[in-house]
Amino acid sequence: MERPIGVFDSGIGGISVLKRLLKVLPQEKYYYFADEINLPYGDKSPEEIQNLSKKAFDYFKKLDVKLAVLACNTATACAKPYLEANFDFPIFGVIQAGAKDKRLLGKKKVAILATKATIASCKYQEEIAKFYPQIKSYGIACPGLADAIDAQDYPLIEDLIFKASEKIDADTDVAILACTHYPLVRDVFENIFKKKNLSPILIDPADGLAIEIENYIKKSGMKSSKGELHFYSTADLNEFISKSEKLLNK
């Protein structure tokens, strides 16, 4: 029997990762778990994030997934080692994929736009230093932005991104969208940055992550033949499916 892939996020942010996966691996069977009742994760403690993530991964274990994707930077930062110690299937996270992105080659200054918890963990800064020691990286927390994106509150989204843009140094080469929600409003980032005469390259870590998973599946011989997509939400499933389908078709 062909085993599925589990994809986990607190809300709709992970859809940006799922979209990349569907593009490179359309024949796979996916189960997307959204812990909407407990969002946002960005303001929670590492211990809370670990416990909540474990519940989703218990669900994946029952499904006998062949691998799981932490489509959430906050969960990757705070829970990945904990989950790897408790589950025997491969777990992929977004942070390392973003930190080793080849577009960082030769760059000097990188801004990391993320939740409060991801910035506090310093995981991005640590990983970037491993691959590109010459880069000076700095974090900008964007409290409330992931929540506003989940709520699709565009006036608030614009206001929060504008506030974040005021903290970006003019000589910044790259801005990493280090929350999977943020690429869903990439156009808003681009428009506001342009108005403020900022021109960093925007990197979505999901790009590298999807390729990494594609390569793993090819090498391991675990490729499936019939594409399927299933959703699970701890809140209103029908509402979540409706929002997700709009984003996948955008």
DSSP assignment string, the chain: ----EEEEESSSTTHHHHHHHHHH-TTSEEEEEE-GGG---TTS-HHHHHHHHHHHHHHHHHTT-SEEEE--HHHHHHHHHHHHHH--S-EEEHHHHHHT-GGGTT--EEEEEE-HHHHHHTHHHHHHHHH-TT-EEEEEE-TTHHHHHHHT-HHHHHHHHHHHHTTS-TT--EEEE-STTGGGGHHHHHHHHHHTT--PEEE-THHHHHHHHHHHHHHHT---SS-EEEEEESS-HHHHHHHHHHHHT-
Residue-wise pLDDT for 41-51, tens only, equals 988 999 999 99
Q: Which amino acid is at 133?
A: P
* 104 pLDDT more than 80: yes
Say yes or no: do domains 5-93+206-248 and 96-203 share a fold.
yes
Show me where the domains of the chain are located.
5-93+206-248, 96-203
Span 5-93+206-248 CATH architecture: 3-Layer(aba) Sandwich (3.40)
Read off the pLDDT band of 55 (50, 70, 90).
Answer: very high
Question: What average pLDDT score do residues 222-243 get?
Answer: 94
Name the active-site residue from 72, 78, 122, 142.
72
- C-alpha neighbours within 13 Å on the C-beta side of residue 68: 28
Name the active-site residue from 78, 122, 142, 179.
179
At residue 249, the pLDDT reads 85
Read off the pLDDT band of 237 (50, 70, 90).
Answer: very high
Q: What is the pTM of this model?
A: 0.93
Question: What average pLDDT score do residues 33-43 get?
Answer: 92
Residue-wise pLDDT for 110-152, tens only, equals 999 999 999 999 999 999 999 999 999 999 999 999 999 988 8
* 99 pLDDT more than 90: yes
* 56 pLDDT more than 90: yes
**Residue written as tokens 């029997």?**
1
Residue-wise pLDDT for 168-216, tens only, equals 999 999 999 999 999 999 999 999 999 999 999 999 999 999 999 999 9
Query: Percentage of residues in the chain with pLDDT exceeding 70?
Result: 99
Handedness of CA 161, 236, 231, 85 (dihedral sign): positive
Q: For the chain, give the mean pLDDT.
A: 96
Annotation says 179 is catalytic? yes
* 250 pLDDT more than 90: no
* 16 pLDDT more than 80: yes
CATH of domain 96-203: 3.40.50.1860
104 close to 125: Cβ distance less than 8 angstroms: no
Q: Which amino acid is at 192?
A: I
* 160 pLDDT more than 90: yes
